[in-house]
Structure 1
Amino acid sequence: MPSYVALTYTRDVDWTAPEQAAEMAEYQEFGRDAEAVIRGGAALYPTQTATTVRVTGGKGGDIVIGDGPYAETKEALTGFYLLECDSLDEAIRHAAAIPAAWNGVVEVRPTVPTLM
C-alpha cells in the first residue's frame, strides 16, 4: 500500500506551551480518527530550535552547522504524519482533516518505497 507524508505548515509555535492545549486536543482528535492510516508522525519544536547542516565539498567534506531555520517564512514546518492510504485522493481526504489545513497548509507527498 502506498505511503504519503503530510507535512504541516502553521504559525511557528511551541506546541508544548499551555496556551496550545486546545489546538493540540484537535490534533489528538485527528490522531484518533485517522488511527487506521497513521504510521508515524510528530509535532516539531519551534524553528528557533533548528540546526541546519551542510557539507561543503560533497561527501567527506567539512561539516558546517547553523542555528535556527534555513529561511524566514510566515508559516513554518511544524509537524508531519506518515499516512498509509490506498490512493492520493484518500491521503488528501485525511490531510484535509488535519487542523493545520484550517489555518495553514498541509503538503502531501508520496514516499519512495524502500527495502528494509
Structure 2
Amino acid sequence: MSSIKLTLELACTSEEAARFAAVELFLAEVGEDAEAEPPAELDAIFGARSRETILGLAGHPQPLGITFRYGQDRGVMTLAAAGGTPNLAALPVLLLWLYPEKLPIAYSVHVTERPELAVWT
C-alpha cells in the first residue's frame, strides 16, 4: 500500500500554534466520546456552531492523519503526515480557517514510492 509523505512548516506564534492543537485535541476527543465539544476559544474562529463546522471541514469520522510540533525557539509549527495517510482534503481548508492572515500557504505532497511526482498545493 502506498503512503503519502507530507511535511509543512509554518512560521507562527505559540498562540497561533495552539489553534491547530485545539482542533487536533477536539478531534481526538470526538474519537473517544461522540458528544465531545470543542473548547470555547474555537468559537471565535469557527463560529457559534464550531462543533459542526470543524467536523464537517475535517471530514469526520475520517481521521485527520496529521501531527504537529511547535518549536518555540524558531517560532515554527511543523505539520507531518501520521501513518502515511493524511486527510489531504481537510488540511488546506482547516489551514484557511485557522490562518487566513498567513495566506498563501504552499506545501508539496508525494507518494513515497514516487517522490519525483510531488504535487504542490
Q: If each structure's strand is expressed as a fraction of its own residues, which one has the higher value?
A: 1
Please give the TM-score of this superposition, normalised by the length of structure 2.
Answer: 0.38
Please give the TM-score of this superposition, normalised by the length of structure 1.
Answer: 0.39
Does 1 or 2 have the higher relative contact order (CA < 8 Å, sep 6+)? 1
